[in-house]
Amino acid sequence: MGAKGLKLYSGHTNFYTIPLDDPSMDPVYSYLEQTGLPILWHVHYPKYADELDHVVEKHPKLNLLMPHYGVCFWNAHDGCLDRLTKLMEKHKNIYVDVSLGTRQILTDGFAAMEPQLPKYQKFINEFQDRITWGTDTVVTQNSEKTSSWFEKVMWAARDQLEKDSFQTDLAAGFSKYQPKGRDGEGRFMGLQIAPEIAKKIYLDNPRKWLKMPNAGAKKVEDARPPATPPAP
């Protein structure tokens, strides 16, 4: 019906039922290798690194994207990001996205990354051809998820990537998402990546992972509405 890939949740701690490298999954992984289908696999790499490493050793042609830096964004110095780096250096088909999570995880994630930004900047620079953008803004019927909420999440995710500092109402003093111990302005330090790398993350790398043609790709521009609406 036009689906372009597969989402696997088996590496999420809430949905983990069998080891990721359980032999019963081999026919699935083999099929995915043969077809080259894009796989978005939520893997909590700090917990399941050994199991995922076994899978990609046995099935090295998987076209795999791990969201949320493999959930290695909470502490850049606990060894998770270093191990993910080694995995990606060895297996050239592995992508990651730079989403953190939704609601509290998003704003707490911004705060957790702040003291460790140079390490994440280095990671992004090294793998700039295999990193994609993401926001984790899953569409549900939750009344909180208005168009305004989605817009705030998406701009915050983009600002963290592009700017040296940014502000978001999601983390301001009046928000229930405000990280503990932060001021009321909702301000964070950002990654400030180069524009040419941003283009790869927003456009080129997702097209490559999804096996889409690059022809006709439009320039990514700032679509933020003007601060003051034009007079009628």
Q: How far apart are CA 191 and CA 211, in angstroms?
A: 28
Domain assignments of the chain as residue spans, ordered by start: 6-209
Q: 99-141, pLDDT tens digit by residue?
A: 999 899 999 999 999 999 999 999 999 999 999 999 998 888 9
Q: How far apart are CA 125 and CA 196, in angstroms?
A: 11
Q: Which residue has the higher pLDDT, 149 or 229?
A: 149
Q: Is the pLDDT of residue 74 over 90?
A: yes
pLDDT for residue 220: 53
Q: Is the pLDDT of residue 160 over 80?
A: yes
Number of Cβ within a 10 Å radius of residue 201: 24
pLDDT above 90 covers a percentage of the chain that reads 84
Contact criterion met (CB below 8 Å) for 221 and 200: no
Q: Is the pLDDT of residue 232 over 90?
A: no
Find the mean pLDDT for residues 201-228.
72
Q: What is the DSSP letter of 217?
A: P
